[in-house]
Homo-oligomer: A and B are copies of this chain.
Amino acid sequence: MGFPLTVGYIQCRPAFNDPEQTMLDLDRLLDRAASADLLVLPELCNSGYHFQNPEEARQSAEPVEDSRFLRFLQDKCRQHRFYLATGFNELEGDCLYNTAVLLGPEGYVGRYRKLHLFLNEKSFFQPGNLGLPVFDLGGYTVGLLVCFDWMFPEVWRILALKGADVICHPSNLVLPGFAQQAIPVHAMTGRVFVVTANRIGSEKELTFTGQSLIAGPRGEVLARGSETDPEVGIEGLDLDQARDKMITSRNHLVKDRRPVEYGFLVE
């Protein structure tokens, strides 16, 4: 029986400050993923990543409320009846955020702003200020993280404790293999599914590492992309596996926690 859900990653090469080209590329890839219920695209999918100055960082940024890029994706969600989490270079007032936006057949669902900015992102983006929300998509719960957040076990833990069944993780990973090693373990210790959509290609001296992945609650890798090619990875999940938090007949992943003895984690 279970609770079946088909998820997928779109591993692609966002065109640097050329969202029209990116939409052309995505159009074809998203049609190939039409069978999915929930899809994940890479980080900063509307702008590319490796900005040399604030002007470059701002060039393709858009407000969530008025974005040609998001309207394109919303049309795809409506057409194929899927939900989609995309990395998004978000303009709000004078500020940029490295955001993940969740869209669905009925339009905008919610957003998360990256809490842990990597390296030179600190020169261009404001750190996230919306906490770690989760979203009910009609019977199942989705959390959002962006790329380098993977290094901070707190965020995985909090999303699992908030009841996330699936964590969508748009990424532009450049460190070789570390995230891909860690993510299945975060899935295991939280008993959740994780869909990491990583980008491919290079921008100046940066090479992105691909190997997008879908990880399961037993620490297994259910699907993995290549290092270099545009790819759609689709996998059917049974979400009941994420909801069964009994590790043994007498051990519960949440109830066995000992917060009083942990003493602190928020300071």
Contacts and interface: CB of A to CB of B under 8 A. Distances in A.
Interface size class of A (residues with CB under 8 A): 35 or more
B189 A262 contact: no
A28 interface: no
Interface in A145-159: 148, 151-158
A167 to B, nearest CB: 14
Interface string A114-141: 0110111010000111111000000000
Contact of A116 (B154, B182, B256, B263): B256
B219 A182 contact: yes
Given A181-B188, A189-B152, A265 B157 contact: yes
Interface in A170-225: 178, 181-182, 184-186, 188-189, 218-219
Interface in A228-267: 247-251, 253, 256-259, 261-267
A132 B261 contact: yes
Given A128-B258, A128-B261, A265-B157, A119 B151 contact: no
A122 B158 contact: no
Interface of A: 115-116, 118-120, 122, 127-132, 148, 151-158, 178, 181-182, 184-186, 188-189, 218-219, 247-251, 253, 256-259, 261-267
A154 B151 contact: no
Nearest to A256: B116
Given A119-B248, A250-B122, A154 B219 contact: no
Nearest to A150: B189
B259 A267 contact: yes
